[in-house]
């Protein structure tokens, strides 16, 4: 089978992480438009190395290479090998990171390259790999710049990251805003093991997610009898070790319920019955300079839950303070705790915020709308 389209990402797919939801939506749109295609992603574990669904083919890279740079370069080579059989028929190659992009932007290609920038590794890897030298991150930045320069269109999920991309010299006309979205869930049943009253955190466990702040916040809400914190982590249990240690030190561990790698529809049910959803993103370069487009905020609003989030430019793009929830300065546990406390004391106003949040998603931030915008980007490439 020779494909007209390919979508490549250095991400595990499918998985319980937000990136997998995003990949599913974007790749589905691409393959709908081009009558199928090749999805090149990370595999391993139980996932098959190759899979075919009608006109769609999934190839998964599962080489166990411990060093990230070695692994990324091997992935690049693997992508090159997998694109090679389709070189003559390929019309669009959609990529999510520089190592996926590198083989796609090679000389002699006849296809167009769409580079979807959800984050910039040169900024993000400084946080996830604190021992990486600035000179190393500089090399990664150069790699990003090279791939962005040679791409035909750059898709960004927020204006903040659009600015970061323009700063790297990408001309305005190549940058297209395709916001993240959510599907508004119908009525969901309360999870059987849900506590009476709880606030919820949904997402991964990296340091920039601000879970340490959230633990300190919860310590300040110790007087609220019966209130529990539910953490729906999209990563396996052992990733939570540092946060759980901190919770024990702060004396809040016995008021926290942990759920790990729940399927998406179960997370939606947990969200829908929470008193508030908290997104305590820290005010670090990763969140401020490159921005982010936190799915947790969009999905919480879609579930009709008021959101208490850090006041970051990327979050402001999605929600308004006092309208859909509360925005508080980042890294300030006292202020975050106060905002949650006020929300809990005014349940009618909180419910109204939740309703307005849901309407806001229905009006402008659905996956259907995001996909329509992506389709428009593909149309501009065809011209």
Partner 1 sequence: MTRCTVTTGFFVLGRCGQAAAGSCPHCARPVCAAHAAPGGACPECAAARGYRTQDPHDPTWVGNRRRDYYQRSSRTYQDTYWYSSFDEYDRGAFNPGDDYSYGGDWGPDDDTGFVDS
Nearer to partner 1, 135 or 348 (CB): 135
Toward partner 1, which CB reaches closer, 81 or 349? 81
Provide, rounded to whole angstroms, the least separation between the CB of residue 195 and partner 1: 26
Between residues 47 and 351, which has the closer beta carbon with respect to partner 1?
47
Could you tell me the smallest distance in angstroms from the CB atom of residue 44 to partner 1?
5
Q: Are 89 and 131 in contact (CB under 8 A)?
A: no
- Smallest distance, partner 1 to C-beta of residue 228, A: 25
Nearest Cα to 22, choosing from 111, 185, 155, 129?
155
Q: Sign of the CA dihedral 283, 99, 233, 355? A: positive
Of residues 159 and 197, the one with the C-beta less far from partner 1 = 159
**CB 331, min distance to partner 1, A:** 19
Element (H, E) at 84: none
**Residue with Cβ nearer partner 1 (208 or 224):** 208
Shortest Å, Cβ 168 to partner 1? 15
At residue 359, the 3 state secondary structure works out as helix
Considering the complex, state which of residue 137 and residue 256 has its C-beta at the smaller distance from partner 1: 137
Beta carbon of residue 66, minimum distance to partner 1 (angstroms, whole number): 5
């Amino acid at each position: 089978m020779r494909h007209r389209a390919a979508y490549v990402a250095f991400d595990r797919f499918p998985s319980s992480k937000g990136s997998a939801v995003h990949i599913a939506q974007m790749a589905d749109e691409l393959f709908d438009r081009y009558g199928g295609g090749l999805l090149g992603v990370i595999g391993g574990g139980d996932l098959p190395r190759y899979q075919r669904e009608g006109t769609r083919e999934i190839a998964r890279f599962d080489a166990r290479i411990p060093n990230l740079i070695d692994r990324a370069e091997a992935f690049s080579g693997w992508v090159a090998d997998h694109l090679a059989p389709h070189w003559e028929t390929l019309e669009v190659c959609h990529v999510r990171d520089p190592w996926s992009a590198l083989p796609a932007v090679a000389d002699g290609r006849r296809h167009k390259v769409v580079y979807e920038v959800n984050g910039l590794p040169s900024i993000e890897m400084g946080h996830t790999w604190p021992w990486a030298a600035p000179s190393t991150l500089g090399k990664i930045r150069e790699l990003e710049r090279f791939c962005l320069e040679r791409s035909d269109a750059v898709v960004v999920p927020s204006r903040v990251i659009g600015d970061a991309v323009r700063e790297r010299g990408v001309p305005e006309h190549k940058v297209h805003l395709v916001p993240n979205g959510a599907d508004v869930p119908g009525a969901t049943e309360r999870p059987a093991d849900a506590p009476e009253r709880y606030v919820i955190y949904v997402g991964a466990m990296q340091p920039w997610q601000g879970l340490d702040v959230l633990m300190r916040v919860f310590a300040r809400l110790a007087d609220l009898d019966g209130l529990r914190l539910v953490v729906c982590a999209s990563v396996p249990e052992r990733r939570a070790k540092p946060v759980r240690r901190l919770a024990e030190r702060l004396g809040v561990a016995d008021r926290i319920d942990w759920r790990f790698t729940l399927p998406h529809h179960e997370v939606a049910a947990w969200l829908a019955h929470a008193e508030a959803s908290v997104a305590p993103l820290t005010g670090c370069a990763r969140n401020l300079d490159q921005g982010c487009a936190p799915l947790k905020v969009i999905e919480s609003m879609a579930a009709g839950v008021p959101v208490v989030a850090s006041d970051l430019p990327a979050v402001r793009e999605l929600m308004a303070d006092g309208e859909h929830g509360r925005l508080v300065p980042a890294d300030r546990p006292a202020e975050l705790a106060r905002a949650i406390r006020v929300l809990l004391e005014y349940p009618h106003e909180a419910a109204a915020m939740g309703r307005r949040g849901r309407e806001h998603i229905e009006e402008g931030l659905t996956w259907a709308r995001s996909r329509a915008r992506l389709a428009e980007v593909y149309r501009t490439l065809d011209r």
